[in-house]
Amino acid sequence: MKNNYNFGVVKFHLKFNHRTESTPHKFQTHFPSQNLILFQPEELVVSMKEILEIEFLDIEENSEYYNIIENVLKECMVEENLQDKNYYVSIILTTPDQIQKMNNEFRKVNKATDVLSFPMFEKDEIYNKPEEIRETLGDIVISIDKVKEQAKEYEHSFERELSYMVVHGFYHLMGYDHIEQEERKEMRLKEENILGKLNILR
């Protein structure tokens, strides 16, 4: 049973150089955006060109990470009926040093963590957005080294751990949290539902 995660959620949105100036709640950062990659699997009903942007920050590109994130995020969007809402999610895969800097800057917690989430919308705003406007649902920042470390610690696969980070971050973007027991129970059920549908087991 997992009980040592150090998830962080911040109620504003990171603004990278590729974002539009109309995006509200912007915070200018100086992370490099030249390595931004759009993953575009043509065979998917839900186009990842529309719903996913991945940036590698101080780590090498890796196709395995693409495939894992593709499957999880697609399932999340379909499960929450967002596939036609014109949202995308920005996912940044990075190092412990970089995620520590972000954790300190935005949460005032000066230590490395596994995943940070930066929601764009409040929970009750998500389904009210005009569909013709493309917006980011928010940013998820994941420490790949931490994924590897925790996969080993909990004795399951790298795929399971990275998938859990993505789905957990996604539900933070959707406005869910795990501070109170009932909220935590609801969020965990949603996470395990996604992973179960994808047959990504412990």
Q: What does the pLDDT read at residue 79? A: 97
First to last CA, the chain: 10
The pTM for the full model equals 0.79
On whether the CB atoms of residues 57 and 91 are closer than 8 A, the answer is no
Q: Which residue matches tokens 């090498």?
A: 60
Reported as a pLDDT band with limits 50, 70 and 90, residue 8 is low
Q: What is the 3-state secondary structure (H, E, C) of the chain?
A: CCCCCCCEECCCEEECCCCCCCCCCEEECCCCCCCCECCCCCCCCCCHHHHEEEEECCCCCCHHHHHHHHHHHHHHHHHCCCCCCCEEEEEEEECHHHHHHHHHHHHCCCCCCCEEEEECCCHHHHHHCCCCCCEEEEEEEEEHHHHHHHHHHCCCCHHHHHHHHHHHHHHHHCCCCCCCHHHHHHHHHHHHHHHHHCCCCC
pLDDT digits (tens, 9 = 90+) for 37-52: 333 334 334 444 578 9
Cα 26 to the chain's mean position, in Å?
18
pLDDT of 153 strictly over 80: yes
Residue-wise pLDDT tens digits, 124-152: 999 998 888 899 999 999 999 999 999 99
Average pLDDT, the chain: 81
- What percentage of the chain reaches a pLDDT higher than 70? 76
- pLDDT given at position 135: 94
Tell me: domain 8-197, CATH 3.40.390.30, correct? yes
Report the distance separating Cα 12 and Cα 122, nearest Å: 10
d(Cα 190, Cα 185) in Å, to the nearest integer?
A: 9
* Alpha-carbon distances, residue 47 vs 25, 57, 71, 73 (angstroms): 27, 24, 11, 11
CB 54 within 8 A of CB 70: no
| Rounded Cα–Cα distance for residues 195 and 164 (Å) | 8
Is the CB of residue 20 less than 8 Å from the CB of residue 35?
A: no
Q: What is the pLDDT of residue 5?
A: 45
Find where tokens 């751990």 sit: 161
